[in-house]
Amino acid sequence: MECELSAPPLAKPAPSPARAPWREAAEEALIPPLVALLVALICGDLLILSYGQSPAAVYRMLLEGTWGNAYGFGQVLYKATTLAFTGLAVSFGLRAGLFNIGAESQLAAGGFAAALAGLVLPVGTPLIFALFVCMIAAGLAGGLVGSVPAYLKTRFGAHEVIVTIMLNFIVLALLNWFIAGHLHVPETLHTPEIHAGVLPRLADIDPRFHGSAANLALIVAVLVAFAVWFYLFRARGGYDLRAVGLQPQAAEYGGINVGRVWMRALTFSGVIAGIGGINYVLGYKHYYEDGFASGAGFLGIAVALVGRNHPLGVLLAAFFFATLSQGGLAIHAFVPKQMMDVLQGVVILAVAMAVPEVRRVLRGARGWKDA
């Protein structure tokens, strides 16, 4: 009698513990910018050494001139506020797959409209009401400028990059013509001071910030960032916008009106940038001045890219670039302040190169662990 022997069943390998999705998302969101920052610091060290200075001494002076005293920190907050608005505006468009290069003209248009509203309102208008009117005017002006490339793209297929670049020249030239020819204080290129809607400065709350331009527009920027986050990640419209940004054809196949999303994205992007004009007009000078938005719109592109198009990341990136901008003034005695401009460019390039490479390494490491 033959006895059949059967091999014992092979034991199934124990399943590897699943990684929490939030952990993977946090790794891909935080590690690439940190690597890029490290690369930028190394390049900064080489630049400083080329001038015969000590990197430690220069960085110490940079921190002392920005975060180490109330005035410097206030200036960082002021500059970060404007960059937060333009960075949020650019990132909002990028989420829909649109590159808004026109944040500078939208910011200027918003500041001009806020100044006009502040001039029209009578003296003694309650601050809350005046602020609301000026913000609405700023948002409408920025949205109007943003709606032009939106309409041309949805109606005629015009590329938003070309249109927004051209609009920067057109809008800024029109504002210059209007200020110089019709609404300026003699011997200047700025409007008269507004009658209502002046935002309190931080120095009015804490005297240590005396002389700093920081004002309560900072709170408005944080609130706008929260509103953008809520819309993008908690509202149906934000889901449609992100879907179009990832794959327009698939989104249209799924029933999303792509043209309407593009129209809404560029218009709202202009609204966000336009509201940013209140930082200078209502919070700092209390008038519109020709050229106040110079560079802020284009630097907002860098803020959006470094911030990974996330509202929180944009706020942190705005603070970082504002620190570099103010820090350039603090270290001028050691190295040329233009070195900070070079360092900003290095940060952008490092982020562009580090993000895909670090993500590839992270995903490769996860695959090796799961194998």
Q: How many CA atoms lie within 13 A of 115 on its CB side?
A: 26
Strand partners, 215: 201
Identity at 103, one-letter amino acid code:
A
Query: And the tokens for 233?
Result: 């990640």
Q: Is the separation of the CB atoms in 132 and 275 below 8 Å?
A: no
Burial of 252 (0-12, 13-18, 19+ CB in 10 A): middle
Cα 213 → chain centroid? 19
Burial of 368 (0-12, 13-18, 19+ CB in 10 A): exposed
The pLDDT score that the predictor gives to residue 26 is 74
The pLDDT score that the predictor gives to residue 1 is 46
The pLDDT score that the predictor gives to residue 277 is 97
Q: Is the separation of the CB atoms in 250 and 139 below 8 Å?
A: no
Q: Which of 294, 273, 111 is nearest to 194 (CA)?
A: 111
Dihedral angle over CA of 55, 57, 61, 64, nearest 10: 110
Q: For residue 340, what are the CA distances in angstroms to 43, 54, 127, 244?
A: 11, 16, 38, 36
The pLDDT score that the predictor gives to residue 9 is 55
Quote the CA–CA distance of 86 and 60 in Å, as a whole number. Answer: 29
The pLDDT score that the predictor gives to residue 16 is 47
Strand partners, 104: none
Quote the CA–CA distance of 239 and 216 in Å, as a whole number. Answer: 31
State the architecture of 79-335 in CATH terms: Orthogonal Bundle (1.10)
Nearby residues of 264 by Cβ (< 8 Å), 6 or more positions away: 150, 237, 241
Q: How many CA atoms lie within 13 A of 145 on its CB side?
A: 38
One digit per residue, the tens of pLDDT, for the chain of length 371 reads: 444 555 555 555 554 455 566 777 777 777 877 888 888 889 889 989 998 999 999 999 999 999 999 999 999 999 999 999 999 999 999 999 999 999 999 999 999 999 999 999 999 999 999 999 999 999 999 999 999 999 999 999 999 999 999 999 999 999 999 999 999 999 999 999 999 999 999 999 999 999 999 999 999 999 999 999 999 999 999 999 999 999 999 999 999 999 999 999 999 999 999 999 999 999 999 999 999 998 999 999 999 988 989 999 999 999 999 999 999 888 887 888 788 888 888 888 888 777 777 778 877 776 766 55
Strand partners, 190: 289
Give the 3-state DSSP-derived string for the chain, with helices as H, strands as E and coil as C: CCCCCCCCCCCCCCCCCCCCHHHHHHHHHHHHHHHHHHHHHHHHHHHHHHCCCCHHHHHHHHHHHHCCCHHHHHHHHHHHHHHHHHHHHHHHHHHCCCCCCCHHHHHHHHHHHHHHHHHHCCCCCCHHHHHHHHHHHHHHHHHHHHHHHHHHHHHHCCCHHHHHHHHHHHHHHHHHHHHHHHCCCCCCCECCCCCCCCCCEHHHHCHHHCCCCCECHHHHHHHHHHHHHHHHHHCHHHHHHHHHHHCHHHHHHCCCCHHHHHHHHHHHHHHHHHHCCHHHHHHHHCCCECCCCCCHHHHHHHHHHHCCCCHHHHHHHHHHHHHHHHHHHHCCCCCCCHHHHHHHHHHHHHHHHHHHHHHHHHHHHHHHHHC
The pLDDT score that the predictor gives to residue 10 is 52
The domain ranges of the chain are 79-335
